[in-house]
Chains A and B, each alone.
Chain A
Amino acid sequence: MSKQQLPFPRNHLPFYHSNNSVLNAAPTTQSTSINRRNFMKLASITAAGPAIAARFPLHSPVAAQSLTSSERELLLLAIDAAKDAGAHYADARIIRSQFEAVSTREQTITQIQNTDSFGINLRALVGGSWGFAATQVLTRDSVAAMAREAVTVANANNAVAPAQTTLAPVDIFPDANWVTPHSVDPFLIAIEDKASLLLRINEEALRVNNVRYASSSILSVKEERMLATTEGSLINQTFLRINPAVNITAISNDGRDFQTRNAVIEPAGRGYEYVMGLELAGNAERWAEEAAMKLEAAPVEPGKWDLVLHPSNLWLTIHESIGHPTELDRALGFEANYAGTSFIHPPEDVIGKLKLGPEFMQFVGNRTEFGGCATTGWDDEGVPAESWPIIKDGIFVDYQTTRDQVGLISDYTGIERSHGCAYGQDWESMPFQRMPNVSMLPGEQGLSQEDVIASTDRGILIEGRGSYSIDQQRYNIQFGGQVFWEIRNGRKYQMLRDIAYVGRTPEFWNALDVIGGSSTYYLGASFGDAKGQPMQVNAVSHGCPISLFRNIDIINTA
């Protein structure tokens, strides 16, 4: 275990964006020791928007779980049918996924869409081979047939090329429950409230000169999952995730240029209280001003610059260059035909040996972080959520694992149990190893954002995720951003534009020189982590402090 716990993410505090002082560079006065209890106090203050607070008192237990006892019976029926058909292990899931999308542009509602998808699946192990089947027809006959089909497929696969599969030990949880910590279920907030918030955001943005177009949306997700295994676990969980998004376009007076400001807000594994704390309408004008300022920004001079990466940009760099190459299935070649392999391989040569950054650089994989999109109670094969070091003191020490993988590297890590990274996106999808939250710990010196900016005489501060691209072994990076500030003599000087930073992952992370303290810790996230064939998406978060990298190559993308 890491000696330091992950701090509370700053952008999950109510009023974060109004204090985010990028324009006025006010010194931060935010307490660095906000714990969860204090946060809930803050959350209730923000949420005291009178109408909503009256309708949805905070901390009320939400009736999030609608799966019934008859569905539990179907799950056990599937497990029994698989055992009878000859599976020596099986796990089955009933999954109900609900999505609600509210989308707007300018003063127009462009989409109101509610999606509800419900079905059951089963994964069976025969010999060393997996078989999988799924159905949306929830009758006893159909579910039993589905379970037998999974066993038939496993048999067939084992006949083509028999495999060795060992499942790591796991504790049994015969009656477990977990719900994403939240105070307001987004599905209980009226759609017209969401729509009117979005239209207000657009209206505020459109007040700014040159800003012609503004679109915004809120995507809410609720997943109810019940898992049963032949080993005796029965786990019932409800996940909430929410993704508010704003995209603003400014057009130059001569009609020859346009610039956008988007990726302003991070998705989160939380309830609607997160959105209420964001003050979206109050901040829209500032984001719009940034879009307009980009039209007038100075072109960057390509070459070597010090880079100060705000966590709203750095989280995606972590996702691409640390998160993906430390997926064990990639390192072992299982994703070669699509997502690719990994430069962090072979396991026996890199575990405990490969230096990926300076000694103060610490990364943890976790499925426990507050607000994390990959935060859970148990994974899709019943492994309890945990947090573990991936990079310790700058050295790579462990991968992301599932039960059938961990034995392949336990000789080098000394770890016999899965880190709990199995996930399948919906009832139709077979679970496999997916990325947990992978986060970088803040520095122990407790530096502020201003301290980090002051650490370079000639640098560029980058905020927000832009265009991002990385090769299939995760070496060659090219990442853009949303807003770029030239730093001169330790202070923000002027806005720049058309920037991407390029490099090779190991050299890039070894150029990390200064990191902020826990007051700068921020949680970025994506709903769109893609992997597998058939391709499945995973939602994942990455926390990190503001960070300074020395002498990084910058290109002009204009």
Chain B
Amino acid sequence: MAEAKGLPADELRAISDRVLQFSEADHCRVRINSGWRGYTRVATNRITSAGGSDSTSVNITSIFGKRVASVDTNRLDDSDLLNAVRRSEQMARLVPENPEYLPELGPQRYQSNAAYYPETGELEPATRAEAAAIAIDRANTAGQIVSSYMDVRAGISSIGTSNSLFGSHSSTAVAYTLTSRSPDGLQSGWAGDEANNWNNIESQRIADDAVRKCRDWRKTPLDPGEYTVILEPTAMGMLMLRMMNSFNRRTADEGRSYFSNPNGGNRIGEQLFDERVSFWSDPAFVDSETAPFNSVGQPLSRQSWVENGRLVNLACSRFWAQRLGVEALPGPSNFIMQGGDNSLEEMIASTKKGVLLTRFWYIRGLNPRIISYTGLSRDGTFLIEDGKIARPVTNFRFNQSLVSMLENVEMVGPAVRVAASENSSVNTAIVVPPVKAIGFNLSSVSDAI
């Protein structure tokens, strides 16, 4: 087996210890990221760029009393590291106090997980080019024009503090997405996947799906309005990538969140969504593993946010927890929605009139009081009538509260990891089911293809 990407764990530890030795501050925190990124990009049925690079960066936080400053450097010689330590100390001595600073954590117990998949770490240019060649071949055969992107990461991260904390974690991830278009520019289809394990990326199936969607989709008119929608997992995941950031206790307690209680405090314990809605995060979730620690070294473990529609927890920083006299609760590092028994076919068969959505684009916040977002459908939008896909239809803009969408869930399918980021780079792991929901606001037509 080839060597794992990134510096070896003992070398990371040595750098971390050296920085802590150099430190003359009251406290010091060292975070290191070391790894490799490789990519291959296709456009107009040829590889337009491919490359890769190894990089290591060291983030040093120095603390005097409650004065805090950080320096990030990618120069690793002893003299460079010493310079960086001194620079952060100089800055920290001069800045005003941060009254919210809490002492560095001491040793912690981290649950280990096997997030480093060697198959992903060894995903060399030739293997990536094979996947590209399959996509180019499928597109050429179908008379289409393909663009694709494969993004691969493999490496290791660590955290250490002057209070004897040290932890490190290795991981890999790969995202593969593909857009196929007709030469006249009137048809477009998309498919894509993301995983920690390369073996779970089905590059042939992705090419077939995108080419089929492009073949089947050519827009026909449909009026905007409120529709029953079936969100394929990617479409649902792109919305839940936004939803995951709203579970914040301080923002709620401060009165600037949907989860704020108008009489003060928050809405933990209240039934807020349909009972089929459950959200949790779990750094050990297979093929979506994350580091079992966050940027200040707090341990992460399986954590529920919503259970059967009831809000059960909000993330709470160490400072806010101390002020409230409760336990701190680190935010989610991945986001998982409980799946259900309904297949996509059942959802379609049960729908008298509705719209099937493949993925979204340009999602932006509208109104945080109701967690509403706008965005546009893209690369596969279909009308469902009388339990069947009737025809491809135009793209739409949506203006939709995610709260009301989660109140109006009608069916839930099996949960899968999706490529939830709009730019198709490896992103926060999102695991979601396809969902059927009523009353989704497709507010205007988008002419884009």
Contact = CB atoms under 8 A, between A and B. Distances in A.
B220 interface: no
B47 A129 contact: yes
Interface size class of B (residues with CB under 8 A): 35 or more
Interface stretch (B231-239, B330-338, B357-365, B405-413): B357-365
Contacts of A258: 255-256, 368-369
B15 interface: no
Nearest to B44: A333
A135 interface: yes
Interface in B31-47: 37, 39, 41, 43-47
B424 interface: yes
A343 B395 CA distance: 15
A157 interface: yes
Interface in A298-349: 332-338, 340-341, 343, 345
A255 interface: yes
A191 B69 contact: yes
Given A254-B262, A467-B366, A199 B96 contact: yes
Given A191-B69, A557-B367, A251 B255 contact: yes
Given A153-B125, A192-B95, A472-B361, A533 B423 contact: yes
Given A334-B48, A480-B366, A119 B74 contact: yes
A335 B361 CA distance: 14
A160 B92 contact: no
A92 B147 CA distance: 27
Given A192-B94, A337-B178, A469 B56 contact: no
A473 to B, nearest CB: 4
Contacts of A254: 262
B420 to A, nearest CB: 14
B423 A428 contact: no
A20 interface: no
Contacts of B378: 471-472
Most buried by B among A190, A192, A333, A530: A333
Given A132-B51, A467-B365, A156 B125 contact: yes
Interface in B118-143: 125-126, 129, 132-133, 136
A385 interface: no
Interface in B391-428: 395, 397, 399, 422-425
B91 A191 contact: yes
A78 B92 CA distance: 39
A107 B100 CA distance: 10
B148 interface: yes
B217 interface: no
Interface in B262-284: 262-264
Contacts of B449: 341, 473
B97 A109 contact: yes
Contact of A534 (B47, B254, B425): B425
Contacts of B264: 255
Contacts, number: 246
Nearest to B100: A108
Interface residues of A, number: 82
Contact of A112 (B92, B263, B362): B92
Contact of A109 (B87, B98, B132): B98
Contacts of B136: 160-161
A430 B185 CA distance: 28
Interface string B75-115: 10000000010011001101111111000000000000000
Interface stretch (B305-313, B342-350, B438-446): B438-446
A61 to B, nearest CB: 24
A136 B55 contact: yes
Interface in A542-558: 555, 557-558
Contacts of B148: 337
Contacts of B145: 333, 336
Interface string A453-469: 00000000000000111
A415 B362 CA distance: 34
B71 interface: yes
Contact of A195 (B96, B100, B181): B96
Contacts of A509: none
B448 A160 contact: no
A335 B94 CA distance: 46
Contacts of B374: 467, 469, 478, 500
Contact of A533 (B68, B149, B254, B447): B149
B387 interface: no
Interface in A116-135: 116-119, 121, 129-135
Contacts of B95: 109, 112, 191-192, 195
B341 interface: no
Interface string A517-541: 0000000000000100111000000
A141 to B, nearest CB: 15
A75 B449 CA distance: 43
A113 interface: yes
Nearest to A117: B74
Nearest to A432: B49
A163 B46 CA distance: 8
A338 B361 CA distance: 9
A202 B145 CA distance: 53
A409 interface: no
A131 B362 contact: no
A357 B254 CA distance: 46
A508 B37 CA distance: 42
15 contacts: A112-B69, A130-B48, A136-B74, A160-B47, A195-B95, A255-B262, A338-B422, A341-B185, A467-B374, A472-B361, A472-B362, A474-B448, A476-B376, A476-B447, A480-B366
Given A153-B51, A533-B149, A534-B151, 15 more contacts: A108-B99, A109-B95, A116-B71, A118-B74, A119-B55, A119-B74, A161-B46, A195-B95, A332-B44, A333-B147, A467-B366, A471-B446, A476-B446, A478-B399, A502-B444
Interface of B: 37, 39, 41, 43-57, 68-75, 84, 87-88, 91-92, 94-100, 125-126, 129, 132-133, 136, 145, 147-149, 151, 177-179, 181, 185, 188, 190, 254-256, 260, 262-264, 361-369, 372, 374-376, 378, 395, 397, 399, 422-425, 443-449
Interface of A: 107-119, 121, 129-136, 150, 153, 156-157, 160-163, 190-192, 195-196, 199, 212-213, 249, 251, 254-258, 332-338, 340-341, 343, 345, 428, 430, 432, 467-476, 478, 480, 498, 500, 502, 504, 530, 533-535, 555, 557-558
